[in-house]
Amino acid sequence: MSEEMWAYQEDGNLCFEKAVNFFMAELFRRWNEKQLNHMVTIVMFSRWYYNARDCLFFQDLIIDEDSGRYYRDYYKVIADMEVRPDWSTFLPDILSEFSSYRRDIQEISTTRGHRLRGDLSKANEGNILEAINLGINSLASHHVDRDLARTGLSTIVVTPSFGVFDVTKRLLRMTTERMLHYGMRADFVCLAPKPLFRPPVFRFKAPPIPSEQEQQRALTLRQQYRANEKRARETELNSISPLDEGPAGFISPVTSVPASALPKDRGKAALLPSKDEDHDAVDPIMLDPLYFKDENWEKNLLPYLNGTLPKPSAAEDGTKAAGAASAAPETAPDSDEKNSESLLPGSIASVLLSNFDNVSDIPSAILELRTADFPTFAQPKPVPKSSDRRIVYCYFPYW
C-alpha cells in the first residue's frame, strides 16, 4: 500500500482498483474453476514517514540511517487463515478496506481537531521484507498438526512498483535463509509496466568486497603473524629458569620468577584449539556480497593487510614511556613562556574548551597546565570526516 496505489493508470483506473478488479478477480475465478480450497491470509502493509516534530504523537518511531527520516510500519489483516468456497464474494470487502485505509492511519484526533500526520513511502522504500517475514512467522509451525488436505506454502506480493526494492543487507540475508529453510516461495505481482530486466531486484548498500587475492594475502599474513607470536611465546617459556631439584630427587619451585613473568595462557587453555582457526584458502561465501562479513574483515583481517597490527601491551608501553622519560633532560620553562603556551593546541585548556562557553569560565589552575605536565596526555589528532564508502549491490533472489 505505497503512494503509487492511489495513482491513476493509463486506462483511468487507480492502481489498487487494477489490482483488485483485474488481478485478484481473475485469480479467484481460476480458483473457483479448478475447485481449489486454499487457506488464505490477506494483509495490507505500508511504511509511513514522519517529521521530527511528530515524535510527540508517536513514541515508537524508527529512524532510517541512510536518509535520516523517521518512519513507522503498519499492517492491517483483513483475512486471517480463512477458507471460502468462492473468494470473489470477498472483493467488495477489500475495496471498502482500501477506501478507509489511508484515513485510519493518517488522521489523528487532537484537542484542536483532526490533523493529518505522515507521508506514504514509495513502493521501492516500503516494508516488503518485513511483511514477508511476518508471513513466515505464521507458517513456521506448519508441520505441527498438519492438515494433509492442503500442501505447499506460497506468498503473493502485489506491488505497484517495477520490482526494484531498497532493503538492508542484514534483513535480506535473514529473509533468504528463512525462505530456504522453510521451503517457501514468493511470487511478486508488479502492476507497473514490464521493465527490461527480470524482477524482483533487491538493492542494498555495503562496503566493496576485497578480491580473492587480497583476502588470501590477509589470511597468509595473519597466519605468519600468529606463527611468529607462537614462536616468541615458546622462546619466552624456554628462557624462564628451570625448576630446581630439591633433596632426594624432589622438585621444588623457583621463587625468584614472579607470577607476572609467566604467560597468561600457560596451561590447559593454551592447548585448546582457537575458535578462529586459520584457513589456507578463502571461503567462497566471503566472495558473496550478501554473506560477506565486512565487520569481520575490517577488524580481524584488514589490519594485517594494512600493516596496522595490534598495539603492544600496557606493560610494554609503560616500560617504554619510563625509559623515554628518564632519558629526556629536565628543562624548566620560564613563566612567560608557560603562560604563552597555555592555550596551544596541545594544552589541557584547548581540550576542555568544548565543555565551557568562554575561556573565562575555565579555572585558572587548568589554564596553567600544559601537555608537558602530563606525559600520558597526547595531542588529539584531527579525525577525518567519515565518508560513505558503500556501493549499491543488486540481488536477484532465487526463492
SS3 of residue 278 by DSSP? coil
Average pLDDT over residues 29-50: 92
Answer with the residue of higher pLDDT: 145 or 189. Answer: 189
pLDDT tens profile 294-325 = 888 888 888 888 877 755 444 444 444 444 44
CA distance 213 to 190: 41
SS3 of residue 159 by DSSP? strand
Which of the residue ranges 42-51, 244-253, 319-328 has the most confident prediction, judged by mean pLDDT? 42-51
Task: Supply the pLDDT for residue 241.
Answer: 56
The amino acid sitting at 54 is: D
Query: pLDDT tier at 51 (50, 70, 90 boundaries)?
Result: confident
How do beta strands 62-63 and 70-82 pair? antiparallel
Q: Which of 14-28, 119-133, 200-214, 322-336 has the lowest mean pLDDT?
A: 322-336
Task: Supply the pLDDT for residue 391.
Answer: 87
Answer with the residue of higher pLDDT: 112 or 92. Answer: 92
Q: Does residue 365 carry a pLDDT above 70?
A: no
Nearest Cα to 299, choosing from 222, 380, 229, 217?
A: 222
Q: Cell numbers at residue 300, please?
A: 580481524
CA distance 340 to 378: 19
Task: Supply the pLDDT for residue 305.
Answer: 84
Q: Does residue 178 carry a pLDDT above 80?
A: yes
Task: Supply the pLDDT for residue 264.
Answer: 52
Q: Does residue 79 carry a pLDDT above 80?
A: yes
347 contacts 370 by C-beta, under 8 angstroms: yes
Q: Does residue 333 carry a pLDDT above 60?
A: no
The overall pTM is greater than 0.75: no
Task: Supply the pLDDT for residue 94.
Answer: 93
